[in-house]
Chain A
């Protein structure tokens, strides 16, 4: 598969204007640069499909445009009268089936891998609200941490009162933080209507359905900040509930967990301490 993608990538680059090099973030023409094995497989599969479709396209329309330009009445063409040819008709039924089988094989493997959410290192529950995300760390390092994550782009930027920042509409006040190289299982549900948790660089998109739990997983191979959106129409501010994930080293993650737990403990202690008299 990797070789296939390298060959097809080279073909595309040589092919012409297809900007394979535009893979640096943010993506402009093609899928975002993958940082998980699944996203990598999806990328390769997409490139492969694109090349196969391109070849068929050139074949079919090469024939059609040849006919369009040469078999014209104005050029003195006289219409033939042939029709129906069983051999040809069987061929153009069987050959596409074989091509489809070739496409289905890698796709099947990826589907099965995508669905395998067993043995996670960390489990996080993401809850969709109108219009923000809530995260609960349920299992693994950081268990017990919970917070809400909502859009942090200021209203003035949206309404044109201020210049738009670099991560316009893709930034949140409290991002999801996960360690690099660990299998993170995400359980999804929603509080009101259906939302969808989508991080393109991870190749993950899973609807969050109110009253039900669905799950998905990712293992990010590269530290960094990855951004996504809600991908299911969920009402007025559907376009304004982004997802921001920080993938950090194991040490930084431990440090982050410690800080979060300290902050939570602080809040709890503060609430136990005698309250100052209200003014």
Chain B
């Protein structure tokens, strides 16, 4: 990707070259590229941690790592994947695509855009570097529950500062997206004509602005409890450990939708493009997205059914959580109705999008089962929950990200991605994903807790199976590197401006690869 845009910058924008070009860039396409490279590196780092976890769990007994380091791995795997891989990847897509989709020349705050990206590498260094300090990385789980997180070594402080920095980056990114979407749309593009990806990101950005400060507050309270003698979460000083969970999940549940709503947007572009038929219910998709976002603020305590809240509290959060199934169902029905009587073809992006609907919906169903408070009492903190959230985060967010990458690679690089490699990547990921995570439902139901380095003998078979699947899944991701490098090097079939036959939207009206500067004069949307 770099090589392609490089030529253009030389041609009509003599600026710094080499490393300085990337450090000082204010171009939304460059910054989008940086975000995506960063998130992929973090994805691989988090993946290595996951594979170490799976290696330890391959058979009963302790073989590969000791319990303390195992807990560090589960904690850091979660933090790295959520804050380092999935969230920045979506911001990368927003940077690249939102200006192209709404006919804007760049993001509204181009310099802040540079800053919000370049905050991330120091945060990542703090986070990953914490493995090497005395006491190692934080081992309190990615949720950092007090008082366990108060017991940790200095790795915990590094994680807290990393979260602060990444939070600032996310908030700036979100403000940029809100302002860009609301102010810089091409003449004629009313809100209800806006591409779905822009809609879902607009709503996601509001969620980010609302909840990232809450997380920052929660981890700051841990920091002061650790070092400055406060007792926010210490009963002996008048505090309450459960209050941390309320604050954390008030952030944490909207966070879940921050990671999935842009994915919904992506799929809502790809399905119509390859079904060659308009999205069935554009307006109802917008309303469903908004409903999910609003409901997400009223369901946080379903993560806490086992803390022992009063019956009225359990019932309220159970009902509210169940309600989320309604707008989510509307979305799935809409995609299926869009496919119905289309003229479909299954190039790689469509395969990923269809796979997304299928596997994400399984995660949706287990989510509904978890929502039922009495059942949740049995499955909370077991592998059932691990299976559930990997079905929505890997098969949901990650599969949608791959769908989007294959869909827009031609626009970025000017080359069509290899169909052969792309399909191999999809089928390997799909098969190994299910080998890894489907048995975890059984493990959780049968009673295996999560976050344990060793387990009772009846869980051995499914754990071995999950470990084999995990290594297969991890290795499959290397295929993606090959696909991207091939396109970036300029080999493969040249892409037309409209790279896919049924693709709609302003991004397909500019040449492929997109020139360094696009829409310097705004297009007019009818």
Binding site for B on A (CB under 8 A): 26-32, 38-39, 41-42, 45-46, 49-50, 53, 56-57, 60-61, 63-64, 67-68, 71-74, 77-84, 88-89, 92-93, 96-97, 100, 103-104, 107-108, 110-112, 114-115, 157-160, 164, 166-170, 188, 192-194, 196, 198, 200, 203-207, 209-212, 214-216, 228-240
Contact = CB atoms under 8 A, between A and B. Distances in A.
Contact of A89 (B241, B284, B325, B362): B284
Contacts of A84: 280-284
Contact of A41 (B68, B282, B374, B446): B374
B294 interface: no
Contacts of A169: 60, 454-456
Highest count of chain A CB atoms <10 Å: which of B279, B338, B343: B343
Given A212-B242, A236-B71, A42 B374 contact: yes
Contacts of A26: 446-447, 456, 458
A71 B306 contact: no
A68 B374 contact: no
A64 B354 CA distance: 9
B252 to A, nearest CB: 15
B343 A229 contact: no
A32 B446 contact: yes
B342 interface: yes
B456 A104 contact: no
B4 to A, nearest CB: 30
Nearest to A216: B308
A79 B148 contact: no
Contact of B343 (A29, A71, A93, A228): A71
A166 B276 contact: no
A67 B235 contact: no
A252 to B, nearest CB: 26
Contact of A214 (B140, B280, B308, B378): B308
A256 to B, nearest CB: 26
A96 B328 CA distance: 10
B482 interface: no
Contacts of B377: 42, 114, 203-205
A46 B375 contact: yes
Contacts of B454: 158, 169, 239-240
A84 to B, nearest CB: 6
B372 interface: yes
Contact of A49 (B148, B345, B369): B369
B240 A212 contact: yes
A74 B345 contact: yes
Nearest to B384: A31
B341 A71 contact: yes
Q: Which 7 A-B pairs have the closest CB atoms?
A: A211-B235, A239-B452, A214-B308, A26-B458, A27-B446, A79-B343, A80-B341
Given A27-B447, A111-B318, A211-B235, A93 B326 contact: yes
Highest count of chain B CB atoms <10 Å: which of A57, A207, A216: A207
17 contacts: A26-B447, A32-B447, A46-B445, A57-B362, A71-B341, A103-B368, A107-B375, A209-B307, A211-B235, A231-B381, A233-B71, A235-B151, A239-B67, A239-B451, A239-B454, A239-B455, A240-B454
Contact of B277 (A80, A114, A166, A212): A80
B365 A53 contact: yes
A46 B368 CA distance: 11
A100 B220 CA distance: 39
Given A78-B343, A194-B147, A89 B277 contact: no
